[in-house]
Amino acid sequence: MDTAPQSKRSTLLWLLLLIAVVFLWWYLRPEPDRGASHAAIEADRIAALDTDPDDILVDLRDDTSAATVAQIERDLGIDLVLVSAQSRDEQFYRAKVDPARRDAILAALQRRSDVEVAEPDAMFAASPIHGHEVLPPEGTWEGFPNDPMYSRQWHMRQIGMPEAWKLADGEGVIVAVLDTGVAYEDHGRFHQVEDLKGLTFVKPYDFVDDDTHANDDHGHGTHVTGTIAQVTNNKLGVTGVARNVQIMPLKVLGGNGSGSVAGIADAIRYAADNGARVINMSLGGPFPSKALKNAVAYAHKKGVVVICAAGNDGRNKVGYPAAYPGAVAVASTQEDEGTAFYSNYGKDIDIAAPGGNTRSGEAGGVLQNTIKIGDPTKSGYFAFMGTSMAAPHAAGVAALVVGEGVTNPAMVEQILKESARRPNGKTYSSDRYGAGIIDAPAAVHAEAQRRKDRRGMGTTVVACVIDGRRATVAHVGDSRAYLLRDGHLHRLTTDHTIVAELVARGAIAPDEADRHAYKNVLSRNLGAKPTAAVDVSEVELQPGDRLMLCSDGLYGYAPADAVHHLVASTDPPDEVVRDLIEAALRGGGGDNVTAIVIEAGVAVVPRATMVLRTTGAGAWWSRRDRFLAAAHSGGVHKSPLCALLGADEAISLVAGNFADAVYHDLEKATGVNVWTYAENLARGWLGQGGAWPPLRDLLDGLARAADQVLGELRREDMGLADLVALAVARAMVTAETAVGGVLAERLRSLETD
């Protein structure tokens, strides 16, 4: 019998079987080794699937009586224990059950009308940590921000924080961080990390141990908190997105990075009930929970923005709670603006933010100050990666938007999405990026322009930097700078108005300009657009020169010959400013009457100083000191003499009509131009000391701009003209817009009084 064909068939069958086995192995093989980071991600994926077979969570109706609770316990043979001391009002319980009876008990509970949720208590986890410690450099950093490790925070620059820091800081907004806790206090073996000192913490709670000390014994939560609100510009460590928010530390994950759905849901409700406006959850799991979904909906209904990490499984499915309605799901980008290999993706992604990639080292990670992993007695600066690191960038920007007065969380989400940008050099996909990469300055600016009462809002600025004998002047709009030399008054700036352009083109005669219907319509301003073009000029000062910076409320009403006479007088600058303001008021100027006079003495101080005059405000900053004073006297609101006393008392400076001008120019930009100087006084807008909060906010923004310029002057070999243009066009464009929104709200409240 010929066995050759049979042998061939057998060989072929074995070959086919071998191919099938190889194919099956290939199909079911573990993910390719991508280093330790990927192995940790796989482990985290498995851990997040765990549930405790002995625990169920039960959410009863809030009006359930104690007698009914006791009856449920008797009927089912269980003990209902509050999830925490904070969950009594919510009637949120946990019960340990016999695993063999769990399904029957759940079914019985789910049939009851007084039970809103009954389900197994799942365990969710923080995203895995792959930390690279980064040692702080020696020496100091002189720019803004002056945090010495800021240069390594590529992620802050990716979302536009250098510009956003100048326009908003989230002051007063409470952000709840639901995580492994925060290293926010010195308590027992726990210590506050150095770069969180100075940050305000409110209403902490530990939902793992059920006490009021939400300390971090893991490291994840402190790192997340740092991205949201690390103390910034403190000459230490690193920066955070929203540096003046208040943090509510809520510990829902233990030292192993995991925690129960019951504790997380309880903490969400606690945050919503205790003043949080933003919640960050850099945690999650791959399966749904009705209790968690209800908690997110509860917070959203109470006006809380809920920001969640999308998950680190690298698959086409967003994890929970990020996938719930009312939550903002954040995907992760890396330094080159591509999406990170681990980031979940899909139709539920809302937005993308920097999460980093440390596979090739610390430089690609998100850098923050936190405790050493699992050891709260030690701390340092660590570069992590994960959607856990992406979410707090979005939470910080959400806090900036909330700080501008947006109270509807759906509107905050819309603003974040509408202002997001496409990645540079990468193919955009909504499944990967959602609406795009979050853009902090665009988000705040979009809010200012979205509302009808703020749309088109802008203001003017004239700035002067003096370095030795060289004065560099920059301006946008129709505020002006003049130079008095040898008795002659020379105008250094050209108005950015429609009428000025008509005169320049010869369309109208110069003497027609003052009577033209559009004489006050600006062709260029600050705040109406995200950027602005700045005109810059330079002049060499001579002994006896005087510089005057002024608003249209001055030169538009004080006669030109009177202005010339007063500036050329031998009176000291403070008296000149007073007389200029009074001349403008006599000429019909009701408000926005402001002047700054700078006099060059025999010797000009050989160091950089900066004068900023914006929206009728005058102030002076130097590298060493900052002076600001305001007083009310004789019916004229003015600032007394602010002097830089160098060896020769070389420069003196005065600012006039301070708070009124700040208020009026911003309101005029909205089209509301009804309040006169007297009415402002009567309504108390011009209080003693210039202590009105929006005014302080504006001045703080201008001071930061000055600090940035002076820092960059030290750090780089840049011409002063470039520095002024940088400060005005980039650092100050949106500061006034943010404050303007506060002013608009204030005006409306006055109108309804």
Which residues have a catalytic role annotated? 179, 220, 388
Q: Amino acid identity of 50?
A: D
285-314: burial string, b at 16+ Cβ within 10 Å, e else:
bbebbebbbbbbbbbbeebbbbbbbbbbbb
C-alpha pair distances (Å), 292 with each of 55, 59, 92, 281, 351: 16, 11, 12, 12, 21
251-273: burial string, b at 16+ Cβ within 10 Å, e else:
bbbbeebbbbbbbbbbbbbbbbb
Minimal CA–CA distance to 374: which of 193, 206, 180?
Answer: 180
96-126: burial string, b at 16+ Cβ within 10 Å, e else:
ebeeeebeebbebbeebeebbbbbbbbbbbb
What is Dmax (Cα atoms) for the chain? 130
Token pair belonging to 491: 């105008």
Q: Amino acid identity of 708?
A: Q
How far apart (Å, rounded) are the C-alpha atoms in residues 459 and 93? 56
Q: What is the DSSP letter of 425?
A: T
DSSP string computed for 655-711: EBSHHHHHHHHHHHHTT-----HHHHHHTT-S-GGG--HHHHHHHHHHHHHHHHHHH
How far apart (Å, rounded) are the C-alpha atoms in residues 466 and 720? 9
In sequence order, what are the residues at sequence separation of 6 or more whose Cβ sits closer than 8 angstroms to the Cβ of residue 391? 224, 280, 281, 282, 307, 308, 309, 330, 353
How far apart (Å, rounded) are the C-alpha atoms in residues 331 and 431? 9
Minimal CA–CA distance to 84: which of 292, 276, 264?
Answer: 264
Token pair belonging to 633: 């006297």
Which 3 state secondary structure label does DSSP give 250?
strand
- 8 Å CB contact between 229 and 186: no
Rounded-to-5 percentages of helix, strand, coil across the chain: 35, 25, 40
How far apart (Å, rounded) are the C-alpha atoms in residues 530 and 532? 7
How far apart (Å, rounded) are the C-alpha atoms in residues 316 and 348? 10
Token pair belonging to 578: 């007073």
6-17: burial string, b at 16+ Cβ within 10 Å, e else:
eeeeeeeeeeee
- 8 Å CB contact between 336 and 426: yes
- 8 Å CB contact between 666 and 740: yes
How far apart (Å, rounded) are the C-alpha atoms in residues 109 and 423? 49
C-alpha pair distances (Å), 243 with each of 144, 171, 332, 495, 530: 13, 8, 22, 36, 22
How far apart (Å, rounded) are the C-alpha atoms in residues 269 and 276? 10
Looking only at the bridges linking them, the beta strands covering 246-251 and 205-206 are parallel
Beta strands in 102-147 (DSSP E): 115-126, 132-133
DSSP string computed for 207-246: TTTTBS----SSSHHHHHHHHHH---SSSSS---SSTT-E
Q: Amino acid identity of 491?
A: R
Q: What is the DSSP letter of 135?
A: P
Token pair belonging to 649: 């008392």
CA dihedral for 606, 609, 613, 618, sign (positive or negative): negative
